[in-house]
Chains A and B, each alone.
Chain A
Amino acid sequence: MTVDNGILTARETGWDIIAPNLTITIFGLLTFAAVIFLLFIIGERSSVKAQEWIKYLVFLVPALLLLGIGLVYPAIRTLFLSFMDARAENFIGFDNYIWAFTKPEILIVLRNTVIWTLAVPLFSTTIGLAIAYFTDRMKRGAWVKSLIFMPMAISFVGASVIWRFVYQYEPNLNKPDIGLMSAIAKAIGIEDPPIWLIEAPMNTFLLIAVMVWIQSGFAMVVLGAAMKNIPDEIVEASMLDGASQWRRFSQITVPMIRSTIVVVVTTVLIGTLKVFDIVRTMTGGNFETNVIANEMFNQAFQQRNYGTGSALAILLFLGVIPIVAYNIRQLRRERTER
């Protein structure tokens, strides 16, 4: 290894770390493939009668085991931990929940989460709906949609870097701005733009804008597909009746894709409840921008308080339950209709 002012060149450090990592990756993949291969050999060679129970063992049991250990058990355990103290040793009743609803910082966290879950679905769905309607049958609409959909492929962390750059604040009034937001603010006559990411409550809405930027594309794609399914005849009939654009949109398009709108709103809502990366990367949860998902991580893994961390996770889940119940009812209904 050559050390040059503390800077090592990549090739020399890299390989030492990569070699064992590469080995374990290839080993992992090969082992997995070998097990599957073996199971199929055993399965195909066994008698018809034996296959009747081996098939459950091979095809169904692994998934159920993983779901049981990975989701069902931890969820129950977390509920249990939420009634215990920081180190999961003593039962303390509802103290963690009382803490959550009385501590001022946590109340701000809860308030912000409510704002996020109202604002993101509302704005994303509205914008998505508008663009889907505008680009429906638009000539060369594909690339327009592509560009709006693109943020979906970018990680929340990447998106946060992009937007931190947009919100970059220049404290020295004599220096030119490098942040787009400040530059625009000055261009339209705001001499002294605010410190975008620090001043509450504006900063929460600036973070929300990032999530809306990502989710609008999703809403647009799903709603656009639903609009394509509206029969031409219905639209034509309304045109012949002389209905205006707005009336056609509000009285034909929207009602006909109502169930899809509900799906989009719930999907975006669930995604928003869990949002963690954006807050963590943009402000670290400081300056009154914190949300439950991020605070849960802080409590559990930085403060090492499993009790409060679990209680926050349960609160997050309580927000999702009504949506789950509604979706299951929908699914049941569809199944019986089929």
Chain B
Amino acid sequence: MTQVAPKREGLKLIQGRRKVKDAFSSPWASFFAIVIAILWTIPTFGLLVTSFRPKVDIVTTGWWTFFSNPNVTLENYQSVFLQGNNVTPPLSQYIFNSFAITIPAAVFPLTIAVFAAYALAWFEFKGRDFIFFSIFALQVIPLQLTLIPLLQLFARGQFAGIEILPDLGITGTYIPIWIAHTMFGLPLAIFLLHNFLSQIPRELVEAARVDGAGWFMLFRKIIFPLSIPAIASFAIFQFLWVWNDLLVGLTFGGGVREIAPLTIRLAEMVGTRGSGWEVLTAGAFISMIVPLIVFFTLQRYFIRGLLAGSVKG
């Protein structure tokens, strides 16, 4: 647009801009969006309200009557959180397990993935593209495809039907779960981090090389510090993924209660006839609280990680 543009044209353009904005924030569109948002939230909200109601109220009236007859108690939380019995430990035990599984199962794959991403982005060797595409393709291997052989390997040291290892004695510990999550988390982590690491300016890397930095120092002094935001994004991803996982825990946990995460206990509570809604709602909310905190405080990083993985170009 040149400065000598006729006044009328300029005015038209301004009017156009305003029109664009008005149309975008059409009240109907906003109304629909708000209605859907409320609809989407009601089920979770109902669960939350129920978890604070006394047992008698829960089984005799719908949670929506809470507002005309508010009766609040913390008893449900107290009982699921602290009381266990001879067979099942209290929920606090499972919370510990969830952390003990999730933290290493996020740290291990991230470290190994950032190493591999560095190698694939900056080392020059034959077959590099082939390896990269293969890893990309591995992302879609369903977990189910790997469970039986992996379990045979972990539990009995069997590889291709032959016992190559003695019984490792790791069944019933967190170790198989950590290793499994590490393996399954790698393809996506390598892919995302590679996209990020390959965008580090070539001059920066070459300058460091010229200054005499070896490959290890280059990683420690330049690549790693620069990739911390990307690592953070993926860490949130992996954390939520592992925390919310049921399948890997069920398969590789060996059915041992002492190491089972919250999700397993919650699924078990749903299955047993004895668990009433007062226990289930409180238990479910306890299992959700950590991911929800992570989600609401770090949403921006989470979305960034999500977008890096899905929107290309």
Contacts and interface: CB of A to CB of B under 8 A. Distances in A.
Interface of A: 6-10, 13-14, 17-18, 21-22, 24-25, 28-29, 32, 36, 40, 43-44, 48, 51, 55-56, 58-60, 62-64, 66-67, 69-75, 77-78, 81, 88, 127, 130-131, 133-139, 141, 143-158, 160-166, 168, 175-180, 183, 213, 216-218, 221-222, 225-226, 232, 235-236, 239-240, 245, 259-260, 263-264, 267, 270, 273-274, 276-277, 280-281, 284, 292-293, 296-297, 300-301, 306, 309-310, 312-314, 316-317, 320, 323-324, 327-328, 330-332, 334
A205 to B, nearest CB: 16
A153 B174 contact: no
A227 to B, nearest CB: 11
A75 B186 contact: no
B287 interface: yes
Given A178-B63, A183-B62, A317 B142 contact: yes
Given A155-B288, A180-B62, A225-B311, A160 B270 contact: yes
Contact of A138 (B33, B81, B244): B33
Interface stretch (B67-75, B109-117, B200-208, B225-233): B109-117
B4 interface: no
A133 B181 CA distance: 36
B267 A67 contact: no
B133 A284 contact: no
Contacts of B138: 67, 71-72
Interface size on B, as a range, is 35 or more
B81 to A, nearest CB: 7
Given A71-B146, A78-B145, A162-B47, A155 B24 contact: no
Scoring A56, A74, A88, A139 by chain B CB atoms within 10 A of each residue's CB, the highest score goes to A74
Given A6-B85, A70-B183, A153-B294, A331 B23 contact: no
B100 A8 contact: no
A51 B215 contact: yes
Contact of A17 (B33, B63, B89, B178): B89
A324 B43 contact: no
DSSP majority for the A interface? helix
Given A66-B112, A150-B40, A260-B310, 19 more contacts: A6-B85, A10-B84, A14-B90, A25-B103, A59-B116, A74-B146, A127-B36, A137-B25, A148-B37, A152-B295, A155-B288, A157-B246, A166-B43, A178-B277, A225-B311, A259-B312, A259-B313, A270-B140, A281-B246
Interface string B284-301: 100110011011100100
Contacts of B10: none
A163 B89 contact: no
Shortest beta-carbon contacts, A-B, top 4: A70-B183, A155-B244, A63-B116, A153-B295
Contacts of B258: 17, 21
Given A75-B145, A88-B161, A134 B216 contact: no
Nearest to B183: A70
A29 B294 CA distance: 22
Contacts of B280: 161, 165
Contact of B174 (A7, A24, A40, A177): A24
A10 B30 contact: no
A46 B135 CA distance: 30
A320 B142 contact: yes
15 contacts: A9-B83, A13-B90, A25-B100, A66-B112, A69-B183, A75-B145, A153-B292, A157-B266, A161-B270, A162-B46, A162-B47, A175-B60, A176-B61, A178-B58, A239-B19
Interface string B119-152: 1100101000001010111101111111111100
A183 B307 CA distance: 39
Contacts of A160: 267, 270
A236 B17 contact: yes
Given A146-B296, A165-B50, A245-B26, A176 B62 contact: yes
B259 interface: yes
B47 A276 contact: no
A204 to B, nearest CB: 18
Contacts of A320: 140-142
Contacts of B150: 70, 74
Contacts of B89: 10, 13-14, 17
B20 A21 contact: no
Contacts of B182: 66, 70
B84 A7 contact: yes
B295 A150 contact: yes
Contact of B62 (A74, A146, A177): A177
B183 A162 contact: no
